[in-house]
Chains A and B, each alone.
Chain A
Amino acid sequence: MQLSGSPNTSKKYLFSKGVDEFFSDINKAYLFTITFFKQALTRPFHFREIINQSFEVGLKSLSLITLTGFIIGVVFTKQSRPSLESFGATSWLPSLIGIAIVKALGPLVTALICSGKVGSSIGAELGSMKVTEQIDAMEVSAINPFKYLVVTRVWATMIMIPILSLYCSFVGLLGSYVNVHSEEATSFINFYKNAFSTITFTDLFSSVIKSIVFGFTIGIVGCYKGFHATQGTRGVGRAANQAVVLSMFLVFIEEIVIVQIANWFRNY
């Protein structure tokens, strides 16, 4: 027997409700993204807030990216050396590490770290502002909250994640150099020359474009989840959590798609 006023818990009802919510969520996310593109290129631009947010994004992730990038460089070199040694190809080590870090690991690791650090922080901050009516307070003061809160944060992640990604690649190569240098006497400049010898402009360009796409994804997902947070503090926690999970998932999908597209361009 169903208690009066208690929620309907039948499987059929819950399934249909779930499907309905899924498509409604996709539609809302689509409209949210379209609104971003409409508002991102129109005045006012809130440059000061973009700089503040860029500083936040950079500062929040810098130490973790430095540590992770350096360790990846060291470990990847250590793991690759025995395989290359068995072919007598240790001189290829810098090129191999260069390709792996600049083309794939640098942007991907940076995006994953920023999904966790920045995505969750944006989701929680905007979620908390939503449930405490701070976003409504902006709206009734004739301030466009979407422009001030969302557009500035997404610009910041789109600007900072490519920079952090290049920084992560540099630190990763530094870690690799430290490991190579401990085994054989190689100069720093020689190592970097070798590492970049096989990297083309298309590789660097696609790596930067990929990071901009990752930055956009992390920013827009964090803002979307925060902006639509409901049900008090529980909703804020859920917004932060979903921002991380969804942006990481999308980053992996985008990685596959962008690598495919870059390969098509290379073949042409």
Chain B
Amino acid sequence: MEIYKPQHTINKSESVIIIKDLYKSFGELEVLKGIDLNVFKGENIAILGKSGTGKSVLIKTIIGLLKPDKGTVEVLGKEVETLSGKELDALRLRIGFSFQNSALYDSMNIYQNLAFPLTMNIKNLSKNEVDQAVEEVLESVGLRDKIYQMPSDLSGGQRKRIGIARTLILKPEIMLYDEPTSGLDPITSSEINDLINEVQQQYNTSSVIITHDLTCAKKTGNRVAMLLEGKFLKIGTFENVFESDDDRIKSFFNYNFIQ
């Protein structure tokens, strides 16, 4: 079956993320062993790989939650590890991060979850402005009716959507998705994939999508990067990577098809 992927303008002369020779270890465990990556403006790049290959470590390094041992990460023209606390916060306001388990604040209802990053970062907003922003992002993820529910009352797919909505409220230029479809049924996964593409279209974002789901990578990624044993084995279109002669890539694709 052919998967529909909407057309989107990608500016290949402008990179929003530039990663050079990135290394990261935890104790004696080497996770990233020399990563190089360019993400262009307006592009969705899906990073495919087995569990434990360092995919999540990579995006946590991009947003400054983890510090690299060696190499540089430049996001929107700023070198992340050299930024002061305030500069890093200013940069983070331009990046949205969707967590694998949504990471919704479970003591707050959906309205409060969405309003929280807005009211904490932008002072002197009126109640009307906050309400309007919350309703707008809820509308864009199709969950307008869940506004006063608690996160524990939502399904896995709805929680993912609200997690994405919470990042969209600050109108980010870059979106980082950590396993957006993991733990979801095929229909909900497909809805999340559509949402990722809609976000790219509607908010004109560039995105890094960490996944081990081939359908997600194919449907959302303008390019796909295959990460294995801490290094990118191949970067290109889904078809380029899929047709690779490398045995390790072949075995990853074969295993996932069998699954």
Q: Using CB atoms and an 8 Å cutoff, list the residues of chain A in contact with chain B.
A: 125, 128-129, 132-134, 136-137, 139-144, 148
- In the complex formed, the residue of A with least CB distance to B95 is A140
Contact of A141 among B106, B107, B121 (CB under 8 A): B121
Chain A residues near B93: list those with CB within 8 A. Answer: 142
B120 at the interface (CB under 8 A from A): yes
A52 vs chain B, min Cβ distance (A):
10
Q: At the interface, yes or no: B20 with Cβ under 8 Å from chain A?
A: no
Residue pair A134, B103 in contact (C-beta under 8 Å): yes
- A136 touching B103 in the complex, CB below 8 Å, given contacts A142-B121, A143-B117, A143-B121: yes
Contact pick for B103, options A133, A142, A143, A148, CB 8 Å: A133
Kindly list chain A residues whose C-beta atoms are within 8 Å of the C-beta of B210. none
Q: Which residues of A contact B99 (CB under 8 A)?
A: 133, 136-137
Give the B interface residue count (CB, 8 A): 24
Residues of chain B from 44 to 69 with CB closer than 8 A to chain A in the complex: 60, 63, 65
A17 vs chain B, min Cβ distance (A):
13
Q: List 17 A-B contacts (CB under 8 A).
A: A125-B107, A132-B103, A132-B106, A134-B103, A134-B106, A136-B99, A136-B103, A137-B105, A137-B166, A139-B65, A141-B121, A141-B170, A142-B117, A142-B121, A143-B121, A144-B89, A148-B120
Identify the interface centre among A139, A140, A144: most chain B CB within 10 Å of its CB: A140
Interface residue B97 (Cβ < 8 Å from any Cβ of A): yes
Q: Which residues of B contact A140 (CB under 8 A)?
A: 63, 65, 92, 95, 97
Interface centre among B93, B100, B103, B170 (most CB of A within 10 A): B103
Closest-by-CB residue of B relative to A143 is: B120
Chief secondary structure at chain A's binding surface:
helix
Q: Give Cα distance in the complex from A125 to B105, angstroms.
A: 11
Q: How far is the CB of B193 from chain A (nearest CB, A)?
A: 22
Q: Name which residue of chain B comes closest to A46, CB basis.
A: B120
A111 to B117 Cα, complex, angstroms: 35
B120 (CB) vs chain A CBs: closest residue = A143
The residues of A that contact B10 with a CB separation of less than 8 Å are none
B111-128 toward A: CB 8 Å interface, digit per residue (1/0)? Answer: 000001100110000000
Q: Which residue of B lies closest to A142 (CB)?
A: B89
Whether a CB of chain A sits under 8 angstroms from the CB of B132 is no
Binding site for A on B (CB under 8 A): 60, 63, 65, 89-90, 92-93, 95, 97, 99-101, 103-107, 116-117, 120-121, 166-167, 170
Residues of A within 8 A of B65 (CB): 136, 139-140
Q: CA of A125 to CA of B107 in the docked complex: distance in angstroms? A: 9
How far, in whole Å, are A103 and B152 apart by their CA atoms in the complex? 46
Closest residue of chain B to A140 (Cβ to Cβ) is B97
A103 and B207 CA atoms in complex are apart in Å by: 62
A136: B residues at CB distance < 8 A: 60, 65, 99, 103
Complex: chain B residue closest to A128, CB-CB: B106
* Distance A165 CA – B36 CA, assembled complex (angstroms): 59
- Min CB distance, A218 to chain B, in Å? 20
- Given contacts A133-B99, A136-B65, A136-B99, A141 and B92 within 8 Å (CB-CB): yes
Set of chain B residues within 8 Å of A129, measured between Cβ atoms: 105
Which residue of B has the minimal Cβ distance to A133?
A: B103
Instruction: List 5 A-B pairs, minimum CB-CB distance, nearest first.
Output: A142-B89, A137-B103, A141-B117, A133-B103, A140-B97
* B151 → A minimal CB distance (Å): 10
Further contacts, 14 of them, CB under 8 A, given A132-B106, A140-B92, A142-B121:
A132-B101, A132-B103, A133-B100, A134-B103, A134-B106, A136-B65, A136-B103, A137-B105, A140-B63, A141-B117, A141-B121, A141-B167, A142-B117, A143-B116
**Docked CA distance A140–B91 (Å):** 10
B89 proximity list for chain A (CB < 8 A): 142, 144
Residue of A nearest to B90 (CB): A142
Residues of B contacting A128 in the complex (Cβ-Cβ under 8 angstroms): 106
Report the minimum CB–CB distance from A4 to chain B (whole Å): 15
A148 to B99, CA, bound (A): 20
